[in-house]
A and B are shown apart, each in its own frame.
Chain A
């Protein structure tokens, strides 16, 4: 079954304790992305990756790191979590298309979400 998996689904942690949220997809997608969702703010992109070893900042990258060593995995790392990173996090993946030298995203497949609380 084509899917994006995230772990853990729920996490309560304390300020400053490093954590990693894993994301894996089995659809051989080039593009992967992390979002956070907060009430009234919609989904905001944290980081994205257009292929292995190619990552870039989204709209709200501060306090986060990512890596893309393999095509299927795209972990999100919080080196020193703070309470303002309490949020619902989603990983997503998609195929990429190209038209006239520009890339565009097809439909994105989302993971089930990770609800993170930092106290």
Chain B
């Protein structure tokens, strides 16, 4: 099954800066989701964008989806030290089951 490929693998920024993370994929999707994981803990859902949507916002998060390029980006504005975590994109497929396939994740470090 396909897996989203996140880019970059690691990102280090200063507090207050914006962080942009990308996810690319190869086949059709029903939706694309972003999750955050603090070290060793369970994943927390951030935002879901459907294949017929182009942009969604949630607080300081902005997600875009370009189905023609098969890519998505997650933008965190005005980052905080508490945003330090791993971020995963997950693909909701169009197959017979409702499986989500997770990428390998992006490590974000926000320096105070």
Hey, which bits of chain A sit against chain B, CB under 8 A? 4, 31, 33, 35, 40-43, 45, 48, 50, 56, 58-59, 88, 90, 92, 94, 96-97, 99, 102-113, 115
Residue of A4, A97, A102, A108 near B100 (CB, 8 A) is: A108
Query: Min CB distance, B31 to chain A, in Å?
Result: 6
B3 proximal to A (CB < 8 A): yes
Hey, which bits of chain B sit against chain A, CB under 8 A? 1, 3, 30-31, 33, 35, 40-45, 48, 88, 90, 92-105
Query: Min CB distance, B37 to chain A, in Å?
Result: 9
Say yes or no: A45-B99 contact (C-beta < 8 A), given A88-B40, A90-B42, A108-B45.
yes
Residue of A31, A33, A88, A107 near B45 (CB, 8 A) is: A107
Identify 4 new A-B residue pairs, CB closer than 8 A, beyond the known A104-B30, A108-B90: A94-B98, A104-B93, A108-B100, A112-B42
Chain A residues with CB below 8 A from B103, complex form: 42
Say yes or no: A102-B41 contact (C-beta < 8 A), given A41-B104, A45-B101.
no
Chain B residues with CB below 8 A from A106, complex form: 48
**Can you list 6 A-B contacts with CB-CB less than 8 angstroms, sorted by A residue number?**
A42-B88, A48-B97, A56-B97, A104-B94, A107-B45, A110-B43
Say yes or no: A59-B45 contact (C-beta < 8 A), given A42-B102, A48-B97, A103-B98.
no
Say yes or no: A104-B92 contact (C-beta < 8 A), given A42-B3, A45-B99, A48-B97.
yes
Chain A residues with CB below 8 A from B43, complex form: 43, 90, 92, 108, 110
Q: How many Å lie between the Cα of A105 and that of B97 in the bound state? A: 8
Chain A residues with CB below 8 A from B105, complex form: 42
Query: Min CB distance, A58 to chain B, in Å?
Result: 7
Query: Min CB distance, A84 to chain B, in Å?
Result: 19
Q: Is A111 a contact of B42 with CB atoms below 8 Å?
A: yes
Q: How many Å lie between the Cα of A111 and that of B35 in the bound state? A: 14
